[in-house]
């Protein structure tokens, strides 16, 4: 909970500073754009957080976004598939990718970093090959389908809520319920903390890890669909490039530990929003865009450092409180960080 | 004049007085055992001597001169070396490289491998280790690694060796080798401070025994004034006479619950194991470390599924392919390594207790039964008298004994019919031990079949209705309570015919 307050504070801070420095930042148009993009990135960040909770990583997200972004227009326009069939097919490909990752990681015992790094290269190459590097798009067709990414629901006269926001909220609620209220979510958190003890407690380790990679790849596929519908011109060589890093950064900002076993869906969503607001602020404030990565990197690092410092202070306070408030026979051992 | 004289050491941790006015004297060429229950302050005192932690007050004199030991480096420079409970060696480096780790002799700025080889060979010979300095540490059994660590200490010209539970993971034979080395060192004028829970060892090895209790000196026993006896040490440690510690009561034993036939455990494919445990029976499994006892439990629980053979629980086939199968069949395992296998330290007591039962009590769509989980946690806290501020306490902040109760609680909540316990009282204090014995007794009385592995002879003698003795993967004997004695167990455990 404290983490969510912290990251919300950071979001508010960046938001207010930018708004004060440049009032045009808060125009309805700009805010709607920020919300739409934050939501799209929120969706893929939710997915990767499941993998990170198992102490794994998925570096292939950006390439999966690129591949599914190419596949969708190819199936719809090139092969003339009906929209539901094309959407299902793209999600099916994404799920199969997740299964493959999970299989290689759990059955062959390969390292998630290596498996998904190879995925990053492979799916990108595949996307460029099947499209012959040609830009893919929907042209003027499938306007109603494109509403999934570009549509808005008017709330007031000047402000309308982008549809991706609703998709992200629904997905977020489902993910939070899954993570915190179902036995599967509890299994994921347990095995992320201590895989061996989880196994000794009857947690089906392999199936749960497999599931995490499938969830991650599916949200990447969904993200790929929405990003493609949004931009309408998919560059096979660059669509989704680096998005895995944004997603991982959002998850870490939002309270996931790369050591596993920790994470909150709300935090991750806010983390994704911080990234987009920052990105937008850099544009709006006229900061040289060459500095974009440097600034985002600095803010994430500052956030993580602050979090670690707060954690240490809290741990010390807790130790004092525990030792003072409760008779423990092993206080000497517990307090020594060396043990 | 003693070599090392420690006076009035006091160390306070927030809210806890770990040591109060503790005195210790160590003479040249002496083995001083320091004993006490968990939390008595032994480890803290040793850390102070080894420069890991500073004392709040008190003075330390070496050869009569006051010294400050404010870092591990300073301790080593003064000739004090701490041999850790968990060995501090790098598995991927050779024995020689480990011995000189951090102080490698150099020539022209590069590591002088020849010098390392020669000097570490000498150091290894001093502890009677006949291995090449180029041997990888990872390829050595634990007992030999410990000797390498001692060799490293000696090569820094240590005059005082502090050993913290050195035999906790050694086989009987390895321990004997270690004792011989310690005696040899003593003859050569090295002084040893020896911390152990195993009073039998202390009895055989120590010249003097210092007993700590609740952070204070509780007394001292010296071999000069008569033999150091087991009962004497225990009564000083607990501060009262040891009465009937193992409260075994006669109770009716029912039908076989766990039946094992021709079981082949993966680590010992050449042996078939046959035995059964009846309802209400407590069966001990004795043997030396490495006899295959833990592997047997792992096979029964599906951690390392058996290669062949049959396991039946309540007359139903229950040969597990995974812990999930075993749990479904009503088998529970309290594993040997509480912190790594028994608990998820980072999550709450409630979630730890609830974890194995999540599947059984799942609701539609896989939602967890949170009310049930809360009730189970509350029930177990009361039943096992777990001392915790509440069910949401993160388990890593509980003491060892209470952590072990949480492990027991998570299985008791499932009401197993077969309970497997692997070293259930390792590293917990006397009070908590007593509670765990009482609980085993209670569970047996309610009809649970209990199979427990223990390396503490007393525990086996005190708790088991029947004892299986294992040696190198085989069951070398089954002893009824009437036939149980330390001698027969040791004979079977070392593979000599019964």
Question: CB B343 to CB A186 under 8 A?
Answer: no
Strand (E) or helix (H) holding B35: strand B31-35
Same domain, B232 and B290: no
Domain boundary among B212, B238, B264: B238
The percent of residues in chain A predicted with pLDDT above 70, rounded, is: 93
Mutate one of A202, A256, A327 to test the B interface: name it (highest B CB count within 10 A).
A202
Backbone angles phi, psi at A254, to 5 degrees: -80, 5
Residues of A with CB under 8 A from a CB of B: 181-184, 186-187, 189-190, 193-194, 196-204, 261-262, 318-320, 322-336, 338
Same domain, B155 and B203: yes
Question: CB B351 to CB A200 under 8 A?
Answer: no
- Give, to the nearest 10 degrees, the angle between helix A83-106 and helix A205-231: 140
Average pLDDT over residues B342-364: 94
Same domain, B42 and B72: yes
Question: CB A182 to CB B368 under 8 A?
Answer: yes
- Give the pLDDT score at A321: 62
- Give the pLDDT score at A169: 97
Q: Are B159 and B3 in contact (CB under 8 A)?
A: yes
Same domain, B430 and B343: yes
- Any domain includes B247: no
Average pLDDT over residues B358-371: 93
Q: What is the pLDDT of residues A286-307, one digit of tens each?
A: 899 899 889 888 988 888 888 7
- Tell me the count of A-B CB pairs closer than 8 A: 130
Same domain, B234 and B262: no
- Give the pLDDT score at B271: 93
pTM: 0.80
Average pLDDT over residues B51-67: 91
- Any domain includes B245: no
- Give the pLDDT score at A332: 39
Rounded CA separation B238/B264 (Å): 43
Both tokens of residue B294? 């833990």
Look at residue A284 and tell me whether its pLDDT is greater than 70.
yes
What is the CB neighbour count within 10 angstroms for residue A58? 31
Same domain, B218 and B317: no
The percent of residues in chain A predicted with pLDDT above 90, rounded, is: 76
Q: Are A22 and A284 in contact (CB under 8 A)?
A: yes
pLDDT band at B378 (very low <50, low <70, confident <90, very high): very high
How far off is chain B from A246, nearest CA to CA, in Å? 28
- Any domain includes B248: no
- Give the pLDDT score at A322: 53
Same domain, B434 and B308: yes
User: Which residue in chain A is spatially nearest to B297 when comparing CA positions?
Assistant: A200
Domain boundary among B205, B238, B271: B238
Same domain, B234 and B260: no
How far off is chain A from B19, nearest CA to CA, in Å? 10
Same domain, B264 and B216: no
The residue that leads in pLDDT, B289 or B182, is: B182
Mutate one of B14, B386, B389 to test the A interface: name it (highest A CB count within 10 A).
B14
pLDDT band at B14 (very low <50, low <70, confident <90, very high): low
Same domain, B198 and B63: yes
- Any domain includes B186: yes
Q: What is the pLDDT of residues A180-228, one digit of tens each?
A: 999 999 999 999 999 999 999 999 999 999 999 999 999 999 999 999 9
Look at residue B481 and tell me whether its pLDDT is greater than 80.
yes
Instruction: Say how many domains are in chain B.
Output: 2
Q: What is the CATH number of the domain that holds B340?
A: 3.40.50.300
Look at residue A324 and tell me whether its pLDDT is greater than 50.
no
Question: CB A193 to CB B39 under 8 A?
Answer: no
pLDDT band at A337 (very low <50, low <70, confident <90, very high): very low
Provide the domain limits for residue B166. 4-238
The residue that leads in pLDDT, A152 or B144, is: A152
- Any domain includes B66: yes
The percent of residues in chain B predicted with pLDDT above 90, rounded, is: 53
Rounded CA separation B285/B478 (Å): 9
Strand (E) or helix (H) holding B43: helix B42-49
Same domain, B224 and B284: no
Domain spans of chain A, in order of start: 34-278, 292-339
Same domain, B275 and B304: yes
Tell me the sheet residues that pair with B34. Answer: B195, B210
Dump the DSSP string for B125-152. Answer: HHTT--S-TTSBGGGS-HHHHHHHHHHH
Q: What is the pLDDT of residues A11-56, one digit of tens each?
A: 999 999 999 999 989 999 999 999 999 999 999 999 999 999 999 9
pLDDT band at B16 (very low <50, low <70, confident <90, very high): low
CA A96 centroid distance within chain: 19
- Any domain includes B375: yes
Tell me the sheet residues that pair with B9. Answer: B22
- Any domain includes B420: yes
Q: What is the pLDDT of residues B98-127, one digit of tens each?
A: 999 888 888 888 888 899 999 999 989 888
Out of A196, A320, A332, closest to residue B341 by CB: A196
- Give the pLDDT score at A130: 96
Q: What is the pLDDT of residues B401-424, one digit of tens each?
A: 889 999 999 999 999 999 999 999
- Any domain includes B465: yes
Both tokens of residue A2? 């404290």
pLDDT band at B1 (very low <50, low <70, confident <90, very high): confident
How far off is chain A from B344, nearest CA to CA, in Å? 6
User: Which residue in chain A is spatially nearest to B359 when comparing CA positions?
Assistant: A183
Residues of A in contact with B85 (CB under 8 A): none
Question: CB A336 to CB B47 under 8 A?
Answer: yes
């Amino acid at each position: 909970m404290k983490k969510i307050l912290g990251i919300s504070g950071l979001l508010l801070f960046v938001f207010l500073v930018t708004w004060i420095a440049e009032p045009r930042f808060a125009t309805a148009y700009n805010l709607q754009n920020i919300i739409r993009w934050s939501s799209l990135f929120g969706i893929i960040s939710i997915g990767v957080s499941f993998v990170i909770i198992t102490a794994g990583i998925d570096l292939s997200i950006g390439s999966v976004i690129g591949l599914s972004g190419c596949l969708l227009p190819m199936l719809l326009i090139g092969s003339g598939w009906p929209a539901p069939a094309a959407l299902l097919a793209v999600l099916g490909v994404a799920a199969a990718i997740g299964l493959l990752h999970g299989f290689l990681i759990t059955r062959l015992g390969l390292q998630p970093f290596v498996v998904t790094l190879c995925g990053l290269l492979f799916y990108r190459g595949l996307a460029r090959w099947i499209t012959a590097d040609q830009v893919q798009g929907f042209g003027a067709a499938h306007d109603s389908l494109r509403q999934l990414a570009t549509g808005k629901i008017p709330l007031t006269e000047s402000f309308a809520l982008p549809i991706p926001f609703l998709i992200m909220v629904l997905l977020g609620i489902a993910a939070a319920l899954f993570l915190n209220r179902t036995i599967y979510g509890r299994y994921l958190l347990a095995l992320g903390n201590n895989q061996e003890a989880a196994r000794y407690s009857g947690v089906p380790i392999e199936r749960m890890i497999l599931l995490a990679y499938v969830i991650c790849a599916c949200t990447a596929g969904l993200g790929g669909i929405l990003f493609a519908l949004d931009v309408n011109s998919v560059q096979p060589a660059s669509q989704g490039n680096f998005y895995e890093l944004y997603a991982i950064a959002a998850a870490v900002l939002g309270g996931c530990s790369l050591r596993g076993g920790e994470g909150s869906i709300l935090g991750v969503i806010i983390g994704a929003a911080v990234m987009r607001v920052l990105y937008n602020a850099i544009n709006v404030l006229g900061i040289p865009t060459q500095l974009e990565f440097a600034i985002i990197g600095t803010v994430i690092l500052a956030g993580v450092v602050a979090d670690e410092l707060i954690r240490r202070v809290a741990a010390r306070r807790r130790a004092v409180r525990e030792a003072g408030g409760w008779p423990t026979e092993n206080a000497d051992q517990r307090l020594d960080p060396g043990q | 004049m003693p070599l090392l004289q420690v006076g009035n050491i006091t160390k306070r941790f927030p809210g806890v007085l770990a040591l109060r006015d503790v005195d210790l004297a160590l003479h040249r060429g002496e083995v001083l055992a320091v004993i006490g229950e968990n939390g008595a302050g032994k480890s803290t005192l040793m850390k102070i001597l080894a420069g890991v932690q500073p004392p709040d007050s008190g003075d330390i004199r070496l050869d009569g001169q006051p010294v400050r030991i404010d870092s591990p480096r300073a301790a080593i420079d003064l000739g004090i070396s701490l041999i850790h409970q968990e060995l501090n060696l790098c598995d991927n480096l050779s024995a020689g490289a480990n011995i000189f780790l951090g102080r490698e002799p150099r020539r022209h700025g590069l590591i002088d491998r020849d010098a390392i080889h020669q000097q570490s060979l000498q150091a290894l010979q001093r502890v009677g280790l006949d291995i090449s300095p180029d041997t990888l540490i990872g390829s050595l059994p634990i007992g030999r690694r410990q000797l390498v660590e001692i060799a490293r200490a000696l090569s820094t010209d240590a005059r005082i060796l502090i050993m913290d539970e050195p035999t906790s993971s050694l086989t009987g034979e390895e321990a004997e080798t270690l004792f011989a080395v310690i005696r040899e060192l003593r003859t050569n004028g090295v002084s040893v401070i020896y911390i152990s829970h195993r009073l039998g060892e202390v009895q055989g090895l120590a010249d003097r025994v210092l007993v700590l209790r609740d952070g204070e000196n509780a007394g001292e026993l010296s071999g000069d004034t008569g033999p150091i006896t087991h009962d004497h040490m225990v009564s000083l440690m607990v501060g009262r006479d040891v009465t009937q510690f193992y409260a075994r009561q006669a109770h009716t034993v029912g039908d076989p619950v766990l039946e094992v036939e021709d079981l082949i455990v993966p680590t010992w494919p050449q042996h078939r194991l046959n035995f059964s445990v009846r309802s209400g029976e407590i069966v001990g499994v004795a043997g030396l470390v490495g006899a295959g006892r833990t592997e047997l439990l792992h096979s029964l629980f599906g951690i390392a599924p058996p290669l062949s053979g049959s396991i039946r629980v309540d007359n139903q086939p229950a040969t597990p392919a995974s812990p999930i199968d075993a749990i479904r069949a009503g088998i529970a395992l309290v594993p040997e390594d509480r912190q790594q296998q028994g608990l998820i330290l980072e999550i709450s007591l409630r979630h730890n207790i609830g974890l194995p039962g999540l599947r059984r009590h799942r609701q539609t769509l896989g939602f967890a039964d949170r009310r049930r989980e809360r009730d189970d946690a509350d029930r177990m806290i009361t039943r096992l008298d777990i001392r915790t501020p509440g069910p949401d306490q993160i388990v890593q902040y509980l003491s060892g004994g209470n952590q072990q109760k949480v492990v027991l609680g998570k299985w008791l909540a499932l009401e197993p019919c077969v309970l497997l316990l692997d070293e259930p009282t390792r590293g917990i204090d006397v009070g908590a031990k007593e509670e765990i014995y009482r609980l085993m007794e209670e569970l047996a009385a309610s009809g649970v079949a209990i199979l427990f592995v223990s390396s503490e002879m007393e525990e086996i003698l005190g708790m088991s209705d029947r004892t299986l003795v294992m040696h190198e993967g085989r069951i070398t004997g089954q002893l009824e309570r009437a036939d149980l004695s330390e001698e027969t167990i040791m004979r079977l455990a070392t593979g000599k015919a019964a």
